[in-house]
């Protein structure tokens, strides 16, 4: 498949292979772009900004709405590509494709409501006889660096608001999952997005991603990925805006008064969706001591009933780890915890390079990697607690803060948790793995900077522009 550069579909002699992590078969190849290619893309985006910044709102809305319609027509193709190149089963991929269409629709509506307000200049004597207002103006070129776990919807979360705000955008998709982003480029070209406003450049992040981040012509970087990569980006960013979603090791608390069936079903899904390769993954499950044994037994039984296999088989519950190196990293993390005294309740088995079973661990030593870092795999650690205060203390005792959750039927308990959990979002009677695309999304501490969610990303991708008339 070719990459989308300066309004053209181009190839390169150097190629990257895209493989299926289920059977390691070749899905397709894409160009290995160079720093020169990225320089061309940035120059094209800079030129196209003269067009994008003047596109009327109704035209931006038309483009995004028609893109959503065309995505709907290609829904099955998008879902299959998501499953083949990524980690999701076909059922999960279909849901992602549906969500991405909704995200594109929300972006179109956000363009309708992008505006400002009047300013009361006469609140000071010097402001008498003056009238003014502000609007929101596009900031310029936005560099979008996206992850492998949501290769369509998280791309739309960057492209949609960028176009809605009148910007140009260069997408550098994850090197393991570039095909879905390229398909999205096809859709936007087909609906009449002017050349250069969107470009999708494939290659290694260490080469073209670094060029995108450092170039002063790029006015904002929107990045979703790991903490180490986020720190490296910040060190090379220069003077530009940045939005980062960097993951977490999300805690879910279950109180003794919770609806246990609701809690179990939500947590099982939250623990093993996309094989745990999800920033909202239920990594730490905090169970009140009075329900610890029965709940953990049911949780283990549900995990052991999970069906693993081909991602294209609709009966498959969970797919594979994106690469062998990632599967080994997860395996080593669990083995390290067990070596330090943790007890493996189920799972912990890797086969065929990238297949890793749903895994549940208890008695995890405080401070080990599984306890403090993001596992990014189908592994959940269990923690007993006696009081809500103790549960909140355990939940907060990490350097992440994306999403937390609590299951309870007591409103006072829910409000206390919502107030005291140091997280960007708190779910009540939902697992941490819950998101709609219109809500603000982002965390505290090492979980990132700024907010995603269409209307909130749109605020990040535009700036207030003040106009003042002296009427004297």
Dist. CA 279–CA 297, nearest whole Å: 25
All residues at 6 or more sequence positions from 99 whose CB lies less than 8 Å from its CB, including other chains: 153, 437
Instruction: Give me the CATH topology for the region 251-443.
Output: Aldehyde Dehydrogenase; Chain A, domain 2 (3.40.309)
Which segments of the chain belong to CATH 3.40.309.10? Answer: 251-443
- Which of helix, strand or coil describes residue 241? strand
468 is catalytic: no
| Whether domain 3-246+447-470 has CATH 3.40.605.10 | yes
All residues at 6 or more sequence positions from 22 whose CB lies less than 8 Å from its CB, including other chains: 309, 310, 311, 319, 320, 354
Question: Which among 265, 230, 264, 233 has a CA at the least distance from the CA of 374?
Answer: 230
Dist. CA 152–CA 350, nearest whole Å: 28
- DSSP assignment string, 118-131: EE-GGGSGGGTTEE
Low-confidence ranges of the chain (pLDDT < 70): none
Dist. CA 439–CA 455, nearest whole Å: 8
Strand ranges in 289-413 using DSSP code E only, listed in sequence order: 343-346, 350-351, 355-356, 359-362, 379-385, 400-401, 403-407
279 is catalytic: yes
Which segments of the chain belong to CATH 3.40.605.10? Answer: 3-246+447-470
Q: Which of 96, 245, 326, 362 is catalytic?
A: 245
pLDDT score, position 129:
94
pLDDT score, position 472:
87
pTM, two decimal places: 0.96
Residue with tokens 């979008």, as numbered in its chain? 144
pLDDT score, position 104:
98
Dist. CA 433–CA 431, nearest whole Å: 5
Q: Could you tell me the maximum CA-CA distance found in the chain, to the nearest angstrom?
A: 79
What tens digit of pLDDT does each residue of 215-272 get?
A: 999 999 999 999 999 999 999 999 999 999 998 999 999 999 999 999 999 999 999 9
Question: Which among 182, 172, 174 has a CA at the least distance from the CA of 150?
Answer: 174
What tens digit of pLDDT does each residue of 154-183 get?
A: 999 999 999 999 999 999 999 999 999 999
Dist. CA 209–CA 144, nearest whole Å: 9
Pairing of strands 241-245, 198-200: unpaired
**373 φ/ψ angles, rounded to the nearest 5 degrees:** -105, 175
Q: C-alpha dihedral over 191, 193, 198, 199, to 10 degrees?
A: 70
Q: Which of 21, 189, 250, 279 is catalytic?
A: 279
- The pair of three-digit structure tokens given for residue 6, joined into one six-digit string: 């300066």
* Number of other residues whose CB lies within 10 A of the CB of residue 83: 26
């Amino acid at each position: 498949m070719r990459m989308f550069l300066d309004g053209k579909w181009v190839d390169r002699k150097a190629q990257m292979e895209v493989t299926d992590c289920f059977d390691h078969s070749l899905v397709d190849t894409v160009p290995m772009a160079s720093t020169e290619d990225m320089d061309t893309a940035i120059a094209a985006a800079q030129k196209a900004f003269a067009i994008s910044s003047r596109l009327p709102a109704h035209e931006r809305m038309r483009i995004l709405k028609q893109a959503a319609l065309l995505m709907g027509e290609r829904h099955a193709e998008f879902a299959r590509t998501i499953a083949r190149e990524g980690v999701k089963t076909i059922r999960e991929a279909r849901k992602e494709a549906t969500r991405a269409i909704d995200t594109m629709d929300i972006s179109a509506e956000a363009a309708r409501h992008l505006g400002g307000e009047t300013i009361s200049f006469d609140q000071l004597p010097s402001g008498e006889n003056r009238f003014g207002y502000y609007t929101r103006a596009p900031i310029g070129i936005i560099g979008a660096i996206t992850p492998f776990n949501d290769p369509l919807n998280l791309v739309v979360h960057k492209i949609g608001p960028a176009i809605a705000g009148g910007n140009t955008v260069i997408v550098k998709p994850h090197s393991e999952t570039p095909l879905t982003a390229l398909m999205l480029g096809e859709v936007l070209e087909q609906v009449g997005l002017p050349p250069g406003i969107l470009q999708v450049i494939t290659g290694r992040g260490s080469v073209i991603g670094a060029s995108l981040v450092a170039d002063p012509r790029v006015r904002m970087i929107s990045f979703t990925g790991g903490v180490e990569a986020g720190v490296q980006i910040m060190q090379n960013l220069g003077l530009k805006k940045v939005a980062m979603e960097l993951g977490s090791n999300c805690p879910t608390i279950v109180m003794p008064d919770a609806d246990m069936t609701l809690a179990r079903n939500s947590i099982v899904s939250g623990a093993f969706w996309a094989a745990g390769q999800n920033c909202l993954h239920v990594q730490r499950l905090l169970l009140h001591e009075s329900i610890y044994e029965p709940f953990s037994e049911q949780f283990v039984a549900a995990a052991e009933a999970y069906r693993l296999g081909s991602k294209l088989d609709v009966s498959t519950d969970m797919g594979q780890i994106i690469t062998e190196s990632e599967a080994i990293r997860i395996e080593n993390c669990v083995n390290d915890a067990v070596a330090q005294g943790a007890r493996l309740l189920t799972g912990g088995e890797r086969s065929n390079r990238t297949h890793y079973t749903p895994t549940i661990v208890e008695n995890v030593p405080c401070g080990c990697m599984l306890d403090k870092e993001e596992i990014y795999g189908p592994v959940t650690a269990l923690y007993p607690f006696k009081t809500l205060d103790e549960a909140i203390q355990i939940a907060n005792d990490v350097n992440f803060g994306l999403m937390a959750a609590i299951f309870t039927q007591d409103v006072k308990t829910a409000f206390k948790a919502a107030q005291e959990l140091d997280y960007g979002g708190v779910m009540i009677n939902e697992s941490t793995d819950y998101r709609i695309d219109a809500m603000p999304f982002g965390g505290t501490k090492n979980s990132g900077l700024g907010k995603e969610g269409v209307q909130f990303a749109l605020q990040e991708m535009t700036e207030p522009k003040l106009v003042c008339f002296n009427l004297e």
